[in-house]
Amino acid sequence: MSTFSISKKQQESVHILQLHGELDAHTAPDLEQEILKLMDSKCYNIVVNFSTLDYISSAGLGVFMAYIEELRDLGGDIKLTDMKPSVYNVFDLLGFPTLYDIVDAEQQAVAKFINTE
For residue 116, name the pLDDT band (cuts at 50, 70, 90). Answer: low
For 49-101, the pLDDT digits (tens) are 999 999 999 999 999 999 999 999 999 999 999 999 999 999 999 888 899 99
| pTM, to two decimals | 0.94
- pLDDT over 60 (residue 117): no
- Residue 27: give the domain boundaries: 4-114
Q: How far is CA 62 from CA 11, 99, 112, in A?
A: 26, 13, 24
Number of domains making up the chain = 1
Nearest to residue 10, comparing CAs of 106, 94, 84? 106
Q: What is the CATH number of the domain that holds 72?
A: 3.30.750.24
Mean pLDDT of the chain: 94
